[in-house]
Structure 1
Amino acid sequence: MVVGTIKTLIIGADGMLGFDLCKVFPDAVKLTHKDIDITDREQVLESIRKINPNLVINAAAYTDVEGCEDRQELAFMVNGYGPGYIAEACSEVGATLIHFSTDYVFNGSKKEYLEFDTPVDPINVYGRSKLLGEQKIAENLNDYRIIRISWLFGMHGKNFVETMLRLSGEMEQVKVVNDQFGKPTYTVDLANKIMEIVELKAGIYHVTNEGICSWYEFASAVISNTVPCTSEEFPMKARRPKYSVLVNTKTKSMRHWKEALKDYMKERNV
């Protein structure tokens, strides 16, 4: 597939990741949640039939991990059944689907996860809903690339970096857990990776910036007044996996998250 000559549709174009995808695919048809309700099967089928794209990039998701615990039905519709409807439509028009999943499909019982590892018993609603999305895509379409990502940060949406910067100005000390480990991922780097993955064979991919850290270590690279704490000291409605490190064995490695963070900080201070 020659990306420059194909018709591309981006769903979720106004989200944090969607914004950077639109820069990489400037000629794409761009739909936001105001344009399409991915939980409405008939609307999804009709919209994709009308546009008739060669490539569909689905960046729409309900990513509020805590909110998913309170609104479980919405989480499973948006993150689970919605991607299945998109896959069904892609199969009908002969389009390739790029879809973004999450490290939270894994329960954290292993220190690292390969693309070939089978997710078992995600420990929160968000993870279970995203796993359902993976399953529904595989049921409805052969030509898909499911990209699992983790700890996403970008200029155009709520993210951990901005939360830390805000709290740092409001509090003398910011407590951050030091017993959950993962790999931060910059939306710009992720968006620029898509053209490579489109050319690869169908399947599941792990795409993150390199470098493993705890949330505390990530926070410490952003602000100076953070202090470590345990997950037990900072209880939340949704349980988080202790380890959610995604290992990439299928594509070229991306740069270290600390390098990506430097670029992010430069951009936000312009």
Structure 2
Amino acid sequence: MAAIKAVIFGAYGMLGHDLAAVFPGAVLYGHELNITDERAVTACIRDLSPDLVVNAAAYTDVDGCEDNRDLAFSVNGEALAYIASACSDAGAVLVHYSTDYVFDGSRKEYTESDVPNPINVYGASKLLGERNVAKNMDDYRIIRTSWLFGAHGKNFVETMLHLSGQMDLVRVVNDQVGKPTYTVDLARKTPEIVDCPPGIYHVTNDGICSWYEFASAIITNVVPCASAEFPRKAKRPAYSVLMNTKTTPLRHWSGALADYLNLKGESR
């Protein structure tokens, strides 16, 4: 990967930090490049003429998307038309990260070929991004992933550790099921996906759990509850298990979590 000319958008976010380590020498962009500015995006990719563009930029506040619908669709959806079109003109491969929330949760698991049906604004905006990529270029890799945690951003693991120190008991929903994914593992898998044929790929750590089961592996003072007890602005899918049918699986999430906690100096 060091031999190719790569650009990473969203390089200073949780996933972006780990991607920067996997693609040494990549040109890194954070907030200094507004991906919703078509002219800026087009000029950036045209002038750099990269072999690979990796887009990890996104508006990921699921509940915030409900309040800021226009922003969500601009960042997660419309911007991808600009990025994909510019990549096509430059002859660059595009890797773009999407989400399990493009599905409605009415099934136990989803493969790459299943038809999306998002039930919240975040999922709908990310689906628009997927469609804009496919509409504007051919040489793309869309990576759907889920329940990200990593050392360089806010995430569920950090929330649980914080709440555990503040509360006697931490209540966590046990009726939403998915696959936790460590950003280090996802980033390290990305070069392999670049070498795969164009298309959509599901990449998560192996193993299925509820948020409560995930929390139980992080802290000891956790108790289960139902989603109905904690109403949120955005509806969440009950099951958002992404099945990987195209590549070798990542390690189990429990091993990834252990590495993360060791890195953070936390003991279970």
TM-score bucket (shorter structure): over 0.9
Alpha-carbon distance in structure 2 between the residues aligned to 1:160 and 1:58: 22
Q: Which amino acid aligns with 1:128?
A: A
Alpha-carbon distance in structure 1 between the residues aligned to 2:114 and 2:50: 31
Question: C-alpha deviations, 1:174-199, integer Å up to 9, x for none?
Answer: 11000000000000000000111111
Q: 1:72 aligns with which of 69, 84, 88?
A: 69
Long gaps (5+) in structure 2: none
> What is the deviation of 1:265?
0.3
Alpha-carbon distance in structure 2 between the residues aligned to 1:251 and 1:4: 22
Alpha-carbon distance in structure 2 between the residues aligned to 1:11 and 1:223: 34
Q: Which amino acid aligns with 1:172?
A: D
The 3-state SS of whatever aligns with 2:94 is: strand
Alpha-carbon distance in structure 2 between the residues aligned to 1:97 and 1:23: 18
Structure 2 residue 248 is matched with structure 1 residue 252? yes
- Taking only aligned residues, the RMSD between alpha carbons, in angstroms, comes to 0.8
Q: Aligned pair count? A: 266
Alpha-carbon distance in structure 2 between the residues aligned to 1:245 and 1:202: 22
Q: Report what 1:166 is aligned to.
A: 162
Question: C-alpha deviations, 1:101-127, integer Å up to 9, x for none?
Answer: 00000000110000011102x111000
The 3-state SS of whatever aligns with 2:151 is: coil
- Check conservation: 2:2, 2:24, Cα contact below 8 A: no
The 3-state SS of whatever aligns with 1:189 is: helix
Q: Which amino acid aligns with 1:194?
A: T
Q: 2:56 aligns with which of 54, 59, 62?
A: 59
Q: 1:215 aligns with which of 206, 211, 215?
A: 211
Q: Report what 2:23 is aligned to.
A: 25
After superposition, residues 115-194 of structure 1 pair within 5 angstroms as: 115-120=112-117, 122-194=118-190
Alpha-carbon distance in structure 2 between the residues aligned to 1:211 and 1:33: 34
Long gaps (5+) in structure 1: none
TM-score, structure 2 as length reference: 0.98
Q: Report what 1:268 is aligned to.
A: 264
Question: C-alpha deviations, 1:82-136, integer Å up to 9, x for none?
Answer: 111100100010000000000000000110000011102x111000000000000
Q: Report what 1:94 is aligned to.
A: 91
Alpha-carbon distance in structure 1 between the residues aligned to 2:258 and 2:28: 29
> What is the deviation of 1:33?
1.4
The 3-state SS of whatever aligns with 1:77 is: helix
> What is the deviation of 1:74?
0.3
The sequence identity of aligned pairs, in percent, is 65
After superposition, residues 198-213 of structure 1 pair within 5 angstroms as: 198-213=194-209
Q: Report what 2:38 is aligned to.
A: 41
Q: Which amino acid aligns with 1:133?
A: G
Q: Report what 1:239 is aligned to.
A: 235
The 3-state SS of whatever aligns with 2:229 is: coil
